[in-house]
């Protein structure tokens, strides 16, 4: 009798486990053009249902059957956004949605802001504003003691790099280098601003649009939490 009961239990629980493994999920974040996370945006996954983004601009659809879907996002004051989403069994598909338009950056007054991250492989990137006007893409590096910028950006900002400029020895993948150091008057990331940020000046290899590393001369001004699962960098006072 015990053997029969055990066999029935296996038959009862196997289908639910198999079903869970055959489903997927869709999660993501909604932000404005200036990278402010947007709460209360309406998110619809065609054939599945609708939800709203939370206070951190995040949304999630669980237990989604594998297949191709249309995701539509709308929020008052912004044009609607639509894109195709492919869901695979047992996988979570992360979607980054940028609604065209400018949103007011949240103030940092004893609270925190959640900064949307862009992920490429194991690296995370954020957009920043230098000296109140120069848009810049940084790779986030919590292990870097100093923030870095490229030589071209340093020239744009008027930072001296002549023979009399102070230097800092930096260990790179190709060896040690002596990099000029200077100061950026202001670096702002989604409303979180730090002033007089010390930077080292050198060009990252194959950087493309990335101007440098966002290191601890900026990050140490805040209480930092990198939430890779939700794709946000939380900066608090």
Domain spans in the chain, listed from the N-terminal domain onward: 24-99, 112-236
Record the pTM: 0.61
The C-alpha angle with vertex 64 and arms to 229 and 67, in degrees rounded to 5, equals: 110
CATH classification code of 112-236 = 2.40.70.10
In this predicted structure, which of 52-61, 133-142, 154-163, 171-180 has the lowest mean pLDDT?
171-180
State yes or no: pLDDT of 71 exceeds 90: yes
More confidently predicted of 143 and 21: 143
In whole angstroms, give the CA distance from residue 91 to residue 77.
Answer: 33
Using the predicted structure, report yes or no on whether residue 13 has a pLDDT greater than 60.
Answer: no
208-223 pLDDT, tens per residue?
A: 889 999 999 999 999 8
Report DSSP letters for 165-201, one per residue: S-EEEEEETTEEEEEEEEEEEEEEETTEEEEEEEEEE
Mean per-residue pLDDT over the chain, rounded: 84
Beta bridge partners of 186: 195
24-99 has which CATH code? 2.60.40.1120
Average pLDDT over residues 120-149: 90
Q: ∠ CA 167-169-172 to the nearest 5 degrees?
A: 130
């Amino acid at each position: 009798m015990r053997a029969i009961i055990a066999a029935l239990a296996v038959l009862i629980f196997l289908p639910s486990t198999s079903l869970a493994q055959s489903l997927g999920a869709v999660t993501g974040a909604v932000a404005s053009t200036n990278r402010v996370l947007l709460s209360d945006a309406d998110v619809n996954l065609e054939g599945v249902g609708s939800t709203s983004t939370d206070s951190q601009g995040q949304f999630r659809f669980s237990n989604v059957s594998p297949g191709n879907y249309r995701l539509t996002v709308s929020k008052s004051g912004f044009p609607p956004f639509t894109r195709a989403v492919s869901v695979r069994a047992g996988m979570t598909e992360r979607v980054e949605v940028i609604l065209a338009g400018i949103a007011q950056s949240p103030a940092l007054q004893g609270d925190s802001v959640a900064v949307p991250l862009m992920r490429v492989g194991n690296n995370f990137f954020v957009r920043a504003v230098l000296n109140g006007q120069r848009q810049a893409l940084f790779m986030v590096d919590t292990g870097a003691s100093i923030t870095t910028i490229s030589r071209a950006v340093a020239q744009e900002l008027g930072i001296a790099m002549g023979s009399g400029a102070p230097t800092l020895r930096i260990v790179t993948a190709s060896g040690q280098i002596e990099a000029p150091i200077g100061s950026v008057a202001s670096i702002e990331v989604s409303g979180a601003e730090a002033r007089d940020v010390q930077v080292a000046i050198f060009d990252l290899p194959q950087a493309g649009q990335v101007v440098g590393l966002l290191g601890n001369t900026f990050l140490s001004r805040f209480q930092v939490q990198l939430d890779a699962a939700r794709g946000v960098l939380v900066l608090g006072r």
